[in-house]
Amino acid sequence: MQVRRGRMLEQRELETQATRGRMLEQGELETQVTRGRMLEQRELETQVTRGRMLEQRELESQVTRDRMLEQRELETQVTRDRMLEQRGLETQATRDRMLEQREMETLLPWPLIRGSSWG
């Protein structure tokens, strides 16, 4: 009987140890899975953050490029406008001188224009 009890106690102890072992193993596996999920989540969040930062930098670069191009275009337009205005003023001054010269020619007696004298 004692042998039987001894065997039963030993069997229960072995089953208890086996159960504890399985529970510890299960807990360790669950911990590893949880760690893996957390690391994966962090990696995904890091990738998303990197992607957003790169996108933000690209947008800022594009805005800067657009502003620079707009500024150059405006400067070019101002330069063109000034050149055209200058040409217009020069053309107007030339016309004015020509008109003034014609008026002078029509007002002066003809021989003086030719360089001869009246007489």
Is 94 a member of any domain? no
Is 81 a member of any domain? no
pLDDT grade, residue 115 (50/70/90)? Answer: low
Is 105 a member of any domain? no
Is 45 a member of any domain? yes
Q: Domain count for the chain, please give it.
A: 1
Q: Which domain holds residue 25?
A: 2-75
**Per-residue model confidence (pLDDT) at position 34:** 96
The per-residue DSSP string of 18-60 comes to: HHHHHHHHHHHHHHHHHHHHHHHHHHHHHHHHHHHHHHHHHHH
**Per-residue model confidence (pLDDT) at position 117:** 56
Tens-digit pLDDT profile for residues 55-113: 999 999 999 999 999 999 999 999 999 999 999 999 999 999 999 988 887 876 666 55
6 pLDDT exceeds 90? no
Is 87 a member of any domain? no
Is 88 a member of any domain? no
Q: Which residues contact 111 (CB under 8 A, 6 or more apart)?
A: 117, 118
Tens-digit pLDDT profile for residues 22-62: 999 999 999 999 999 999 999 999 999 999 999 999 999 99
